[in-house]
Amino acid sequence: MKRPILIHPDPRLKKVCDPVSDISDDLRKLADDMLATMYDAPGIGLAAPQIGVLDRLIVLDCAKEETEKPRPLVMFNPEVLAASEETNVYEEGCLSIPDQYAEVTRPKVVDVQWIDQNGNLQTETFDGLWATCVQHEIDHLNGKLFIDYLKPLKRQMITRKMQKLKRERARA
Ligand code: K2U
Ligand code: ZN
């Protein structure tokens, strides 16, 4: 079922998450809840710390609904094995930093290895939006947000807007 998404600033979003040791039914259920939460947002990725779980688990589905069929991916302990020199710039957002967007430069192509929900080791090369998204999600597992790539003044502006949003939500 859908889980509440933590909003920046929140100390749990800055933590380095713990590797998953065994793929339990509870973790598989958590992954399903994360996919439901992601699709509902809507988003194309979600990391466990965004719903307050400090484990190394991310979900993503960057398939463009109009042209491709959905391709939900569940990744335990995802790692970037290699990244291209060539970079891409994408205007990123984040479900934990609603309605704020900024350009982030990242490697264009990445080789990612992970354990899937059946406990099998997977390795795949991602490019385009999939590459941007999987790097954005793995950053979350290391306590890094897309605003950490911005100049300090811009980052502070966004953080202040989120603090105001959280005050307003608390009053509602
Ligand atoms: O981690 C998250 O907060 C989910 C992001 C992932 C993402 C951000 C920037 C670029 C690619 C992926 C959300 O999906 S933000 C919503 C969104 C939707 C479509 C395209 C880009 C961002
Ligand atoms: Zn995010």
Dist. CA 32–CA 26, nearest whole Å: 10
Q: Let me know if residue 27 belongs to a domain.
A: yes
Q: Which atom of ligand 1 is nearest to the CA of 94?
A: 3
> Which CATH number fits the domain that encloses residue 63?
3.90.45.10
Q: Let me know if residue 6 belongs to a domain.
A: no
| pLDDT, position 71 | 95
Q: Is the pLDDT of residue 67 over 90?
A: no
Domain count, the chain: 1
Mean pLDDT computed over every residue of the chain: 97
Q: Let me know if residue 87 belongs to a domain.
A: yes
Q: Let me know if residue 96 belongs to a domain.
A: yes
49 CB less than 6 Å from ligand 1? no
30-47 pLDDT, tens digit per residue, is 999 999 999 999 999 999
Dist. CA 35–CA 45, nearest whole Å: 8
Dist. CA 93–CA 1, nearest whole Å: 23
Q: Let me know if residue 4 belongs to a domain.
A: no
Average pLDDT for 2-21 = 98
Q: Is the pLDDT of residue 65 over 80?
A: no
134-148 pLDDT, tens digit per residue, is 999 999 999 999 999
- Structural domain of 60: 11-171
Task: Return the bridge partners of 47, or none.
Answer: 58
Give the CA distances from residue 98 to residues 17, 45, 148, in Å, rounded to whole numbers and listed in that order: 22, 14, 15
Given the residues 85, 124, 137, 168, the one annotated as active site: 137
Taking a C-beta distance cutoff of 8 angstroms, is the pair 48, 28 a contact? no
Q: Let me know if residue 3 belongs to a domain.
A: no
pLDDT band for 49, please (50, 70, 90 cuts).
very high
Q: Let me know if residue 84 belongs to a domain.
A: yes
The predicted model scores a pTM of 0.97
Task: Return the bridge partners of 18, or none.
Answer: 55
Dist. CA 75–CA 68, nearest whole Å: 21
Q: Let me know if residue 5 belongs to a domain.
A: no
Residue 168 catalytic? no
